[in-house]
Structure 1
Amino acid sequence: MQALAPLVALLLHFALFRLASAVGNVPPKLYGVNLEWLDMGGQSCSDCSTCIADEWSFAKAYPDTVDATFDKHWSTWFTEDHVQQLKADGINAVRIPLGYWIVEPLVNRSSEYYPRGGIKQLQRGLQQLQDAGMVAILDHHALPGVQTAGQQFTGHCTQDVEFYTPYNYHRALVWTAVMTALTHLDPAFNSVFAIEAVNEPIMNADQTPGYGQFQVNFVQTIRAVELILGIPVPGVSLDVSLGTSNTSAAFIQVATSTSLPSIFNQNVTAALLEAAPILLEMAAELAIPTILDFTSTQAPLFSSRTPLMTNFMDVNWQYNDPPNPAYAAIGPQGYDNHLYYNYGGVADPNPDAYMTSICNLQRVQNDAAVGDTPLWFGEWGLPTQFDATDEFLYMWADAQKMAYTKGAGWLFWNFHVEISELAGNLSRQWSYLDGVNYGFLTKDPAAYHNASVCDPYYYNTTSSS
């Protein structure tokens, strides 16, 4: 999301999309949604760096109460009732945006300010979703050091962008190793089928040095963890005999071995070494015995599992000769693109221009031409730059769904939004559940009000972006 002023919450971002995939038990068509902040003590301002508009500033302003406040927020913002509403509306997949601080040992508490306790809430939410038959993507939405300037979604609205450095690339790889291990070892995470590396990096590739190598290291870290756990990975094997059934000890043993496949480069082994003690902390906090004894109880299950899908923003998200994540793939991989018309730069601010643009969208084809497929649209919504009538929103919803399902599908931002005087009528175009209640979004996410909605707007060209 480019910006969702004034409301942002980085707990559960549900997403509506379809995906043809052979990964695990993922259904051939996935439909999913998103998870916000004024009532809990946050603020709204035109420049999010000047008020309490993100997790960092909230934690810094309320150091003694931030953890309890966020725990209450997480517990009430997404509940079992919401799960059942989503299920009733045909939702079968979620995209969950996470801050790096959910792995708490990665936070430098002397200079970084974030709430604690999110990992237990994630475990709780994933179990509820799994019980309802929904699958999930874990999206690294807010990266250590901040990946994009001036955005609330990074958890720290600042112009000081430091993610694209060796130190923070390393912290992101440690996060990746931990989340991959939890996904395979904690039964509550069984519905997770993909991990996304970086939500919305800077679009100018000249400003993201080292990002291409990070993509390679991200994939290799996930595959390294899977090989250690005995999960088959296409084209690579682990020729190391493990003398332990403890995941943490196995990480250390493999990372310090002198005979490893090439995917275990020094960035990957450094991440495994730092992830090892963190996993022991997680085992205690989340009560996951399989971290302490994974081979004796889980080996048959692991040998029959498929690798996770690695997930990146597509190559066309960036410009100035960006690295193509397709070149980093080992095993299954998916690609993500986000499209919001209300921020400008896509089409002239009027209904005809919007409809002409969306009905002739070529992003799926353009990505496929460079190997970035399957592509899903991980964020979109109904907001516009003009006052949209109800009649237009019916068309706008249909046309966007139609465009995005030409690829792997779509994920709506947002699941629901704060209802308050300050939030105003935001939910009319930003809330999926309200969109269904208003009728703009069909009760069956695969259906349309008018399957011919784009017919008057098609033109013969492949130049639309």
Structure 2
Amino acid sequence: MRAHHVLLALVSVVSVSAQSLPVKKIYGVNIGNWLVMEPWMMKNEWVAMGGEHCDTACSTCIGSEMALAQSLGTSVDAVFQQHWNTWFNQTDINKIKAAGLNTVRIPLGYWLVEPLVNRTSEFYAKGGLKILKTRLKALKAAGINVILDHHALPGAAAINQMFAGLCTPTPQFYTTANYERALVWAAVMTAFIHLDADFASVFSLQAINEPVQDARQTPVLGQYEVDFVKTVRSIEQSIGVFVSGQKLPSGVASSLTVSNTILAIANSPKANISTSVRNALKKAQPMLVTLIYANGARVTKVGSTRKPLFTNFMEYYWQNSGQANPADAASGPQTYDQHLYYNFGGVAKAHTETAYMTHLCNLDRVAKDTAVRNTPVYFGEFSLATGWNATDSFLNIWADAQKLMYSQSSGWIFWSFKIEDGQDEKRQWDYFETLKRGYMTQNPASYHNSSVCATYKGKTT
């Protein structure tokens, strides 16, 4: 009975006409390999946990989070809890704060909302939501803003990628059933962000990380983007937070409790939402009552300080071949995420210092995104990795140039905050290590040489 009372408080109404990002410029790091594991980032620990490193595709061995969880059997929760507690903790938060960073992006899997997991065919550890809540409380105390990123979606949204949680050559996310599970996730997380004081530093919810780039292989992804926004805004309306011009559907009383308002919106013929959103709201409502109480949420009344979340998508040019424009899904504040890695190829014409610098210093991606209304946009993933064994002197230049060009957007978020000690990748992928070696500057807004691109501007390769 006490659990039911968690969502019984009546709500006050907040309307927001315009909304800015919580900081003038985003300077951040990703909390990679924490609640979504990527074995390449912790090669020794992964093996110690019971994982394997595959010689070919990561689907051919215990090379993904689900494969490891399945292999561990009844010990899975304890093994994963140890990793969660040690990989990202208060010491790391203190270092992020000391580095002058103002934002973290936290990759999450759908299995964080445990009732979404089909335990007969899907295998993931339990307890992630509670540890997330603990770390969010500490991030809030440190004054660090948070983007929660739906990195690993039901069925996997990417091909043979560790970050999808399940390594598969045939992703199954692009189905109506898995879309709806992702919408339930969005509903639950939106409610937590607004109702639990420990989530108060979260300002943005990302719908999907790096979907398949060929839009012909992602049917109805544009509709998912629309439905994601509708789901987030419906939950916010039930709590009493409205974007400009929105109100409760006709016939839904403002005097209802949060829990009952969710169902009223889902059942209202006047609500401008799809069947998938209606189904998601109905499935999310009982989960919210149970999960918020079970995870020790300190529910706070929604008052004048609460603002609508920024819904967030990969920017338009992430996909090709007739993709939908995520700007068409916007209703209220929305941001767009660029990812740019030169070391994987397909960006600069060659893996040389000149090719990299020439391409980067003439980067037009922010202008192109602005032209299709994908603004504000930020660079949510990048690293110092190159296609060759770069010298220290070049990595100083490479860090300056990337920061300079990405700061033309709303900011940047480095991948990742750390890599396991002893790995070759640490030098170019571990933010703390880049600071130690002097590639990145102690003040993220400063440069070794702010004219680093001067000799490359206007040139082509």
Shift of 1:345: 1.1
Shift of 1:106: 0.3
Shift of 1:232: 1.9
- The answer as to whether partners of 1:255 and 1:270 remain within 8 angstroms in 2 is yes
- The answer as to whether partners of 1:237 and 1:261 remain within 8 angstroms in 2 is no
Give the residue type in structure 1 aligned to 2:53: S
Equivalent residue for 1:32?
A: 28
Shift of 1:30: 2.4
Selected match of 1:253 from 264, 282, 286: 264
SS at match of 2:74: coil
Q: Deviations over 1:112-134 (max 9, x none)?
A: 11111110111011111000001
Give the residue type in structure 2 aligned to 1:196: Q
Query: TM-score of the superposition, structure 2-length normalised?
Result: 0.90
Q: Deviations over 1:57-77 (max 9, x none)?
A: 101111121111111111111
Selected match of 1:283 from 292, 296, 299: 292
Query: TM-score of the superposition, structure 1-length normalised?
Result: 0.89
Equivalent residue for 1:15?
A: none
Q: Deviations over 1:416-463 (max 9, x none)?
A: 01124xxx32110010000000000001111100111111111168xx
- The answer as to whether partners of 2:265 and 2:271 remain within 8 angstroms in 1 is no
Q: Matches of 1:25 and 1:287 in 2, distance apart?
A: 29
1:403-418 to 2 correspondences below 5 Å: 403-418=405-420
Q: Matches of 2:234 and 2:411 in 1, distance apart?
A: 29
Q: Matches of 2:95 and 2:452 in 1, distance apart?
A: 28
Give the residue type in structure 2 aligned to 1:412: F
Q: Which runs of 5+ in 2 are unaligned?
A: 1-16, 34-41
Equivalent residue for 1:107?
A: 117
Equivalent residue for 2:188?
A: 178
Q: Does 1:328 align with 2:329?
A: yes
Shift of 1:289: 5.7
Q: Deviations over 1:7-30 (max 9, x none)?
A: xxxxxxxxxxxxxx9647812122
Give the residue type in structure 2 aligned to 1:390: D
Equivalent residue for 1:294?
A: none
- The answer as to whether partners of 1:30 and 1:409 remain within 8 angstroms in 2 is yes
Q: Which runs of 5+ in 1 are unaligned?
A: 1-20, 291-296
Selected match of 2:132 from 109, 118, 122: 122
Change over 3 Å in CA distance of 1:65–1:283 after alignment to 2: same
Equivalent residue for 1:11?
A: none
Q: Matches of 1:44 and 1:444 in 2, distance apart?
A: 37
Equivalent residue for 2:313?
A: 312
SS at match of 2:306: coil
Find runs of 4+ consecutive structure 1 residues off by over 6 angstroms: none
Change over 3 Å in CA distance of 1:386–1:460 after alignment to 2: closer
Equivalent residue for 1:458?
A: 457
Give the residue type in structure 1 aligned to 2:344: Y
Q: Matches of 1:312 and 1:142 in 2, distance apart?
A: 14
Equivalent residue for 1:439?
A: 438
Q: Deviations over 1:33-81 (max 9, x none)?
A: 1334331332222421112221111011111211111111111111111
Change over 3 Å in CA distance of 1:75–1:24 after alignment to 2: farther
Q: Deviations over 1:210-242 (max 9, x none)?
A: 001111101111111111111122222104114
- The answer as to whether partners of 1:202 and 1:318 remain within 8 angstroms in 2 is yes
Q: Matches of 2:287 and 2:280 in 1, distance apart?
A: 11
Selected match of 1:83 from 89, 93, 103: 93
Equivalent residue for 1:241?
A: 253
Give the residue type in structure 2 aligned to 1:249: N
Shift of 1:284: 2.2
Paired residues in the alignment total: 428
Alignment RMSD (CA, Å): 1.7
Shift of 1:272: 0.6
**What's the % identity of the aligned pairs?**
48
